[in-house]
């Protein structure tokens, strides 16, 4: 089978760390070009923007959009109008409404649109979903705490409007929660902590409920040094489940069930190849909707200034 010819638009940290090696390791894809104002990949033709890419590279099939969420919508429209399959890095856009016309355009063009949530492809997530499906869930607790200086060094855009702040990693937790829970939940309360010198939050406390009442809480914090925490706990009538390391490790009632490696982006590209083969799209807005709700109903608190 001929590999899918793909281009990366936006060659930053996530593209270099995850997309480039995952494409290189995949038999389904061949990286033929990049488009970026500041980055490139050795040995791969590079262009300043998606318009130049489309003008100069005649034969390719798909694009992976890895730039910040603000400009991603315009790039996605351009790619879809050109008949390209489109992979959106998470979050899929700066707003929920941006997704509507992308979904409609992809359907009209008969190409695939994939809004990726890489944490859903962590090793323990699928089995956690299966285990919870038939159980009565009493409570869910999320602790997602990391060091922004380690994971987003010098990325000023992440503190600007549309950059999401602590919800950039926090949305990964929400993508797992919305995947593994058998019932829908909605946000009921939130407190967002904003550094005095930033326009996006550095920490957040969230409370969620379902039809039966309050069911889940989450703490997101970007100020944690030392060991990093990416944990989701679920208490059920039949025992307790714990996802750690961002979903890579699954423990049930203290017994290790899954202890996997980081192969999330390999899973993303397998899924994208399957979508392209079937001419289907996969766009789940639920994690982004929870973030939007937090900004809508959350109480804003101000904390000390933050400097990189």
Q: Which residues are catalytic?
A: 90
C-alpha span between 250 and 234 (Å, rounded): 11
C-alpha span between 281 and 107 (Å, rounded): 8
Please state, as a whole number, how many other Cβ atoms lie within 10 Å of the Cβ of residue 77.
16
Q: Which tokens is 28 given?
A: 């389904």
Q: Report the alpha-carbon angle 253-257-260, nearest 5.
A: 135
Tokens 């990049």 locate to: 34
Q: Write a three-state SS string for 230-280.
A: EEEEEEECCEEEEEEHHHCEEEECCEEEEECCCCHHHHHHHHHHHHHHHCC
CA-to-CA dists, residue 121 to 35, 88, 111, 153, angstroms: 26, 15, 23, 25
Tokens 């355009």 locate to: 105
Share of the chain residues as helix, strand and coil, in percent rounded to the nearest 5: 35, 30, 35
Beta pairing partners, 199: none
């Amino acid at each position: 089978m001929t590999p899918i010819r793909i281009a990366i638009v936006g060659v930053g940290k996530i593209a270099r760390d995850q997309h480039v090696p995952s494409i290189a390791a995949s038999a389904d894809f061949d990286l033929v070009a990049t488009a970026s104002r500041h980055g490139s990949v050795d040995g791969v033709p590079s262009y300043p923007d998606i318009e130049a890419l489309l003008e100069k590279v005649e034969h390719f099939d798909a694009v992976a959009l890895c730039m910040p969420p603000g400009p991603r919508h315009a790039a996605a429209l351009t790619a879809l109008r050109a008949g390209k399959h489109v992979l959106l890095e998470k979050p899929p856009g700066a707003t929920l409404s941006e997704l509507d016309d992308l979904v409609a355009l992809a359907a009209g063009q008969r190409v695939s649109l994939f809004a990726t949530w890489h944490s859903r492809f962590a090793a323990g997530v699928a089995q956690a979903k299966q285990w919870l499906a038939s159980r009565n869930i009493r409570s869910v607790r999320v602790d997602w705490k990391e060091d922004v200086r380690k994971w987003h060094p010098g990325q000023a855009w992440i503190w600007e409007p549309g950059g999401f702040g602590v919800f950039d990693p926090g949305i990964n937790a929400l993508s797992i929660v919305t995947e593994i829970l058998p019932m829908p939940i909605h946000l009921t309360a939130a407190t967002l902590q904003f550094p005095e010198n930033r326009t996006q939050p550095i920490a957040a406390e969230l409370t969620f409920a379902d039809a039966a009442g309050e069911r889940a809480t989450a703490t997101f914090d970007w100020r944690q040094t030392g060991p990093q925490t990416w944990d989701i706990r679920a208490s059920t009538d039949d025992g307790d489940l714990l996802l750690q390391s961002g979903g890579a490790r699954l423990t049930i009632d203290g017994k290790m069930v899954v202890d996997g490696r980081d192969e999330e982006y390999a899973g993303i590209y397998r899924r994208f190849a399957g979508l392209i083969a079937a001419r289907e799209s996969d766009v789940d807005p639920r994690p982004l909707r929870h973030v939007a709700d937090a900004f809508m109903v959350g109480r804003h608190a101000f904390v000390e200034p933050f400097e990189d």
